[in-house]
Each structure stands twice: as C-alpha cells, then as structure tokens.
C-alpha cells in the first residue's frame, strides 16, 4: 500500500473572492451615503458658504506588462463642508509580485499569482473639534488566503468620550467573534500606529489585525464575518462622533494646531504604512494610494 499524497492546501476561490469584493463595494456605498448625509445636515456658519459635499468617483485600471487584465479600483473623493477631504476607495487587483516584494508577503513567490481586494478610508475634517479617522479592511490570496484591516481615530483635540465610544464599538465587534481579539488587536494597533522617530502615538488607537488565515472554508467564513463586523461597527460609530462635534465653533489657534498634527499623519503614511507600500509595489493608482494625505498641512 502506497502513501497517499497530501491533500492540496485550500485557498479561497472565485466564489469567496467575489463575495469579499462585493462586500467592500457595499460598505463603500453605505459609508459614502452616511457622509453625504452629514454634509447635508450641517447648520452652522463656519463652512464659509460652501455647498454640501458630494463624492466624485473615478475608476482606474492596474497596468500589466502584457496588456492583460490586472484589475483596478474606484476612488471616491469628497471635499465638503464637514469633511475637508475624505477618500473611500475600493480596489480588486491581481497579478504577480516582484521577486523582492514577494519575499515580504506570506505564501507568495514571483511565480505565484496574487489577488487582493479591499476598502481604504481616510477622513480629514474641516473642524479641529472633529477627529480624523482611518479604516481599512482587505482580503489577500497567494498560495494561502487571509484577511486584515482595522480602524483608528486621530483627534486634534482629545475627547475621552469619543475615544470610549470608538473603542467600545470595535470591542463589541471583536467580542462577537473571539474574546481575545480586542486585547490583541488594540495592542497591535497601538504598536503599529506609533511614530518611532518622534516616540509618540499617531492618535488614540482602535484595532489593527492582519494574517487572519483561511486554511479551510470554515475559517474563511469566520474571518470574513469578523471583517464585515469591523466595517459595520465603524460605519455606525464614526458618523455618531462626527455629528457630536461638527456644529462646534473653533479658534484660529486650534486650526493651526490641527494643521501641525496633520503633519504626523503624513509622516506615518509615507514612512511606515503597509497599505502605501503594498499599493506602490503592486502598480496601484498613485492618486488612490496617496489620497490619505491631508489637503493642507503645516510643520512648525
């Protein structure tokens, strides 16, 4: 009797890929609608007579060496009365990594094709009283599959109640799937969103997770459900935080402080951010990759 060859490792197929990409698009639509509703709801006078903002959408295609389909994405960018600049981008790309970059990605090689889909959001607010925010979730497939993502809050004027609301929402999302997730992922967030060269955190944290492997369909179902839970939690809590503060007045000194604090955001995204590196290394759209940068910033 001969030994049977080992069963091939399970990796997400077209059904799972299509489901994930469709979810990221659905979440994008929900968030954009909520943000435009906030633009309509503003009643104060600090918007300088600006009309309520609306998202402008632009599709892009990822280039390939041989002219074949390599996927692409869609930018949704708004400059508004409440949201000075907010991007909610989705993408689904595929192809091959360069040999050097493949060595940095689990289960990848220059010969192994990759597939990646996700949503990425960064909001820079007109008022210094309303915190900036980042959210990203994604699914990646090489010779294995996994989910990653998270959300973090960056206030210009710290507010303990905002911080508690944000963390409570994300903790509930974590607790619904694994009692260890929140402690693990909030710590990971604090460590990841840390400006090593300044020895200071970027904001007040949130959660960050990566490499939630999908070695079988059951694991994929669990981790996809958790990733949806994170997106839903963010879509509920952040608009609530914005509405709490968007009518408050602010001073020119507070605005100046906001512009300086935004510099920390620029420094992190250009020096440390994994998503920025992934996009640049895989031929992504430059404007979509750098949409996270604020429209106005100041260094003292």
H helix count then E strand count, the chain = 8, 9
Tell whether residue 47 is among the known ligand binding residues.
no
Tell whether residue 136 is among the known ligand binding residues.
yes
The number of CA neighbours under 13 Å toward the Cβ of 180 is: 0
Tell whether residue 137 is among the known ligand binding residues.
yes
- The residues facing 87 across adjacent strands are 77, 122
Tell whether residue 284 is among the known ligand binding residues.
yes
Tell whether residue 197 is among the known ligand binding residues.
yes
**Residue 54 parent element (H or E):** none
Pure H helices in the chain: 14-41, 99-102, 160-175, 181-192, 217-245, 252-271, 274-281, 286-289
Tell whether residue 120 is among the known ligand binding residues.
yes
Tell whether residue 124 is among the known ligand binding residues.
yes
Structure tokens at 30: 């929900």
* Contact call for residues 271 and 263 (beta carbons, < 8 A): no
Tell whether residue 199 is among the known ligand binding residues.
no
Reduced to 3 states, what is the DSSP secondary structure of residue 242? helix
Catalytic residue positions? Answer: 134
The CB density around residue 299, as the number of other CB atoms within 10 Å, is 10
**Residue 194 parent element (H or E):** strand 194-195
From the list 123, 132, 137, the residue with the least C-alpha distance to 229 is 137
* Contact call for residues 122 and 133 (beta carbons, < 8 A): yes
* Contact call for residues 179 and 160 (beta carbons, < 8 A): no
Tell whether residue 245 is among the known ligand binding residues.
no
Known binding site for substrate: residues? 120, 136-138, 283-285
Known binding site for a divalent metal cation: residues? 124, 134, 167, 197
Known binding site: residues? 120, 124, 134, 136-138, 167, 197, 283-285
């Amino acid at each position: 009797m001969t030994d049977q060859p080992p069963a091939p490792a399970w990796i997400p197929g077209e059904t799972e890929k299509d489901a994930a990409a469709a979810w990221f698009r659905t979440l994008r639509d929900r968030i954009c609608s909520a943000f435009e509703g906030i633009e309509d709801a503003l009643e104060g006078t600090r918007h300088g007579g600006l009309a309520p903002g609306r998202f402008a959408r632009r599709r892009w295609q990822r280039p390939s060496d041989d002219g074949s389909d390599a996927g692409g994405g869609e930018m949704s960018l708004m400059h508004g009365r409440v949201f000075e600049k907010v991007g909610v981008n989705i993408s689904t790309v595929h192809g091959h990594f360069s040999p050097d970059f493949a060595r940095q990605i689990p289960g990848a090689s220059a010969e192994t094709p990759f597939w990646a889909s996700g949503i990425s959001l960064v909001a820079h607010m007109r008022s210094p009283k309303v915190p900036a925010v980042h959210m990203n979730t994604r699914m990646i497939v090489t010779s294995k599959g996994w989910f990653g993502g998270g959300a973090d809050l960056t206030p210009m004027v710290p507010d303990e109640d905002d911080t508690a609301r944000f963390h409570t929402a994300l903790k509930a999302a974590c607790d619904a799937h694994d009692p260890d997730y929140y402690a693990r992922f909030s710590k990971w967030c604090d460590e990841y969103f840390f400006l090593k060269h300044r020895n200071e955190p970027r904001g007040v944290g949130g959660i960050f997770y990566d490499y939630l492997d999908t070695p079988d369909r059951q694991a994929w179902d669990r981790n996809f459900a958790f990733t949806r839970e994170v997106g839903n939690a963010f879509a509920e809590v952040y608009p609530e935080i914005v509405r709490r503060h968007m009518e408050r007045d602010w001073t020119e000194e507070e605005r100046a402080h906001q512009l300086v604090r935004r510099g920390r955001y620029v420094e992190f995204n250009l020096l440390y951010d994994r998503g920025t590196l992934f996009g640049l290394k895989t031929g992504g759209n430059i404007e979509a990759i750098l949409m996270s940068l604020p429209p106005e910033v100041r260094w003292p």
